[in-house]
Amino acid sequence: MKIKIIFFLLYCIFISNPVLPDDKSIQIGTVEDGVSIFDLTSEGKKSWELHGTSARFVENGFVEIKNVQAVFYRKNDGKPDNVIINTVSAKVNQSSKLVTTDQYVQIRSNDITVVGEGMDGNMSEKTVQIKKDVKMTITGENKGILFSK
């Protein structure tokens, strides 16, 4: 079952010692059942969404999410934009929309794949910067676009 991070935040703020239905206590500040974060445009359409398998509070309003997959949506019609970001873990601040990781990152969009170590991103602006060891692979119709004969 996916748990929306907003409910998770409220849950952790207002419940001091939560207990699961089967009486197994969980640690405050962690989610083990999966997490989803998303942002809506002023028209109520998804701008982006981010999914992970678990989350825990770290510092300065950031939540560390494991096994991250981020998907972006087109502004005009709210359909998926075919841009997907994957990484093992990332720190996310939903208020500032900032995402950061020092882990291996893969960004896929149609015929282009970009990989590298570490990333800083701004989900609102839909911008990312890969920190080091960046490699780009272009396939399909655009394969020779950079080095045409």
Distance in angstroms (rounded) separating the CA atoms of residues 27 and 63: 15
Distance in angstroms (rounded) separating the CA atoms of residues 119 and 102: 6
> Structure pTM?
0.71
Confidence of residue 39 (pLDDT cuts 50, 70, 90): confident
Confidence of residue 31 (pLDDT cuts 50, 70, 90): low
**How many domains, the chain?**
1
Q: What is the CATH number of the domain that holds 82?
A: 2.60.450.10
The closest alpha carbon to 126, from 61, 80, 59, 65, belongs to 80
Residue 149, pLDDT score = 56
Average pLDDT over residues 64-74: 90
Residue 4, pLDDT score = 39
pLDDT at residue 61 greater than cutoff 60: yes
Q: What percent of the chain has pLDDT over 70?
A: 74
* Structural domain range at position 22: 3-142
Residue 147 belongs to a domain: no
Residue 92 belongs to a domain: yes
